[in-house]
Structure 1
Amino acid sequence: MAAKRLFDESTNDQDRPEEKRMRTTPSISTVIREAVMVKSFQSLCANLEPLLRRVVQEEVERGVTRASCTARNTRTVLYRSPSMRIKAPEESSFQLMFSKKLSLPLFTGSKIEDEDNKPLQILLVDTSGRKNVPMMAHPLPIKVELVILDGDFPPEDRDDWTAEEFENNIVHERAGKRPLLAGDVMITMRDGVAPVGEIEITDNSSWIRSRNFRIGARVVGETSQGRRIKEAKTERFSVRDHRGELYKKHYPPALDDEVWRLVKIGKEGAFHKKLAAASITTVQDFLKLWVINPIELRRILGGGMSDKIWEGTIKHALTCMMGNKRYLHRGPHWTIVLNPICQVLGAEINGQKYSAHDLSGMPKAYLDQLVGDAYQKWATLEEVDVLHTEWALLQNDLTAAIESHHEIIQPSLQYTDLNVGFAEMGPPSTNNVHVEFNGWIPSPTCLPMAVGNHHVYNTSDLSSDDDSGSVAYFDRR
């Protein structure tokens, strides 16, 4: 018994230290096994995640489908029940519309106006008939938002589009840029009219695919009777950087515009420098020399100006407004009336009065000499405003016409025999007329009326606008 008890005690003594060691210090194998288990669990979670996502997505889609079917059935019941029917928004014949086209070209930061250089205006029109009828008696104010649209909207210039298509074609500013359309972009329409305040486009249009914008207008919020009012859009246009505005051409040009405002004549370019060297600085200077001697003008511009460029520049220059000013060039026995570009509108020689249509019967060489002298002495000519002299002209009193312009002039018109012809009268007196042409020969006549290599000289072809002050100075009856 003693031996057995001794064996048991020795056995117990051997087991206890091992148990104690296992509780205090885990073995390396245990640590590795636990780490492997943790990694396996994480891997398991990673593998289960896509599966769980797919299961959740399928369940959500199934629930949405069931909800849609329930809603559809509910709408069907409501539609079939007259007492519970809900009406969807209806299309209407109302549409927003810009009253006039834009003033082009447009530059970044410049004020946007219509073709009459007035603020834009948006109208509410009824398109149900053949013509767009303005709706001037809309009962409630309407909030209208102005946006920038892609220039290619709508495709193929369709006249119909949905509100969603309009929304999808709105162009927003580039990242880090200011809002693309700045200014009064939210306006209120009252009585069918919405005046637009000051707006401007802050970025050029070169960065979008179409390279063009449109300005659009849409109704914000609900409209009366829940009907949609179709959106408005302008014509497509490009927007250039504001630095290009300093060099833009004028349409039409003004007489006192610098000559580089004409097409094909660039600022500080070769043509501009050649004209400046010849003291041709304004559009008026350009046209006066073209009237007097187009060959000399062409020579100044040089061989770099082709026939096509020449015709385009002259055509653009001739669109300028001549205004109401007329210029009188006097001599002892003659007076001629010129418009601002040195075209003859009338003449009085030896007491005989000639309108623009009668000038073709006068000796061209003599008339050319008078006009050439007027061109050389342009700064000394008597200037008359047609509007201020209308009454005096109707009275056929040339002297009174000049005095009404606050210039008291005593014309020394000592008429000879009225029956004396031009051949007998001879050239004007050298005591009063000094003709210098700076080395160039006057053109066969002073009125070239066609653009091109060959000029057609026909004084009877003067327009009625240019004739407005011709006969009036001498014989308006």
Structure 2
Amino acid sequence: MVSKRQSGQRHEGRGKVPIQEQKQASISGLRNVINALWMSDKSSYLENFLRRVVREVVEQKIQDQAHLFSRERVGEAGISGAKHLKLCFINKLPETIFTRSSIITKDESFLQIALFDVRTESVVNDGPLSSLKIEICVLDGEFGSHGCEDWTEDEFNSNILREREGKEPLLIGERFITLKGGVGCITKIAFSDNSRWQRSRRFRIGVKAVQPTSNGEKIQEGRSEPFVVKDNRGESYKKHYPPYLKLNDDIWRLKKIAKEGKIHKQLSLHGIHNVKDLLRFYITNEPSLYETFGNIPKKSWLVITEHAKACEIDDYQLYSYHSEELQVGLLFNSIYILVGVTFDWQNYYLPDTLNPREKVCIHKS
């Protein structure tokens, strides 16, 4: 009676963009796009699309950093002879990093740096400096905490941290990288020790040029924002928050649900193992889900459900339901929220754009 078809590709959701811009405009191409991506074996299309998107994002981040740094430094360069070349971090690190885990950024990508020229307001993407060798180090979390960007080489080096006595080096992995086109990616590196022993209880990552320039011009070192490093034994129990909270995360990644605790075990008995399971149950039968939690305070219930609802819908699966009798077709996302409606199998509409008569028809289906 009900036909369900999974469209497990990552591109079809873009058909919803024009609907949001024009509330009553139809999205006649949506079904065709979904079907084409589902039936086609031309994965190269999606691969090329994703590569282009990633490239555009990186280029935009570089430009953002360039303009920001230019505003801060261009006046200083003309007055005090400040350095014209600067190593900049393109993306940002999370507020907490765990030891023995690869260092990744807030958006779960590798940390990237670029060599920036204040005078041209651009990345140095050609010439000898575009393939500069860079050293990665650990800095005191308080270094540059007052917003000062104009430090000397000696000041930078004096804030480089070494391992504690009897410990292995603070950074383990590849501590040297070579820029390509003026941009470098820090991929195989991790912390061996936590940051509790520092007065600020925080670290920064620093980067500096290994070899001098041919004309003797100095290159300003770069530093990240401060962050806390914790021992990795706490990572297996930590909660996840957007944008790191994912649909397939275990249910105990949500606040107020302890791993192997009473609520965790109770939900598992009812087939609720991850965030997606909980959201599906919440959307389809909220009162029943509340009963499943057992004797739980209303405040805790709200904390759990609000945390779950903040999860990004990141798998882009769609389910379809067709009622031949009423000539209605419905599209649901992966947690069973209605996202599209059709009455002629050609034109799809957002649910909140329907008139009262159409909404009654949907409820009947």
Change (3 A) 1:186 1:323: closer
Change (3 A) 1:294 1:363: farther
- Corresponding position: 1:267 with 2:259: yes
Q: What do the CA deviations read for 1:356-395 (whole angstroms, capped 9, x no partner)? A: 235562598986686xxxxxxxxxxxxxxxxxxxxxxxxx
In the alignment, what sits opposite 1:473?
none
Over alpha carbons, which structure has the higher Rg?
A: 1
In the alignment, what sits opposite 1:53?
none
In 1, the alpha carbon distance for the partners of 2:185 and 2:338 equals 46
Change (3 A) 1:194 1:252: closer
In the alignment, what sits opposite 1:95?
86
Root-mean-square deviation (Å): 3.4
1:127 maps to which of 118, 131, 155 = 118
The correspondence of residues 200-349 of structure 1 with structure 2, limited to 5 A, is 200-248=190-238, 249=240, 251-301=243-293, 304-305=296-297, 307=299, 310-311=302-303, 313-330=305-322, 333-334=325-326, 336-346=330-340
- Between the two proteins, the alignment pairs up a number of residues equal to 279
Secondary structure of 2:190's counterpart equals strand
- The offset of 1:273, in angstroms, is 2.8
- Corresponding position: 1:175 with 2:168: no
On the 8 A contact 1:254/1:320 being kept in 2, the answer is yes
Change (3 A) 1:359 1:318: farther
- Segments ≥4 residues shifted beyond 6 Å: 348-351, 363-366
Q: What do the CA deviations read for 1:236-283 (whole angstroms, capped 9, x no partner)? A: 111121222223426343333322233443322343233223322221
1:196 alignment partner AA: I
In 2, the alpha carbon distance for the partners of 1:350 and 1:150 equals 64
Task: Could you tell me which runs of 5 or more consecutive residues in structure 2 were left unpaired when the two chains were aligned.
Answer: 1-80
Structure 1 or 2: more helix by fraction = 1
- The structure with higher relative contact order (CA 8 Å, sep 6+) is 2
In 2, the alpha carbon distance for the partners of 1:291 and 1:315 equals 14
1:357 maps to which of 352, 357, 361 = 352
- The offset of 1:317, in angstroms, is 3.2
In the alignment, what sits opposite 1:166?
156
The correspondence of residues 374-385 of structure 1 with structure 2, limited to 5 A, is none
Task: Could you tell me which runs of 5 or more consecutive residues in structure 1 were left unpaired when the two chains were aligned.
Answer: 1-89, 371-477
Q: Could you state the TM-score of these two structures normalised by the residue count of structure 1?
A: 0.51
On the 8 A contact 1:122/1:193 being kept in 2, the answer is yes
In 2, the alpha carbon distance for the partners of 1:339 and 1:175 equals 54
Q: What do the CA deviations read for 1:140-190 (whole angstroms, capped 9, x no partner)? A: 553321110111111323222222221221111111111001111122335
On the 8 A contact 2:116/2:123 being kept in 1, the answer is yes
Q: Could you state the TM-score of these two structures normalised by the residue count of structure 2?
A: 0.65
On the 8 A contact 2:256/2:300 being kept in 1, the answer is no
In the alignment, what sits opposite 2:64?
none
Query: Which stretch has the larger CA shift, 272-281 or 196-205?
Result: 272-281
In 1, the alpha carbon distance for the partners of 2:182 and 2:317 equals 43
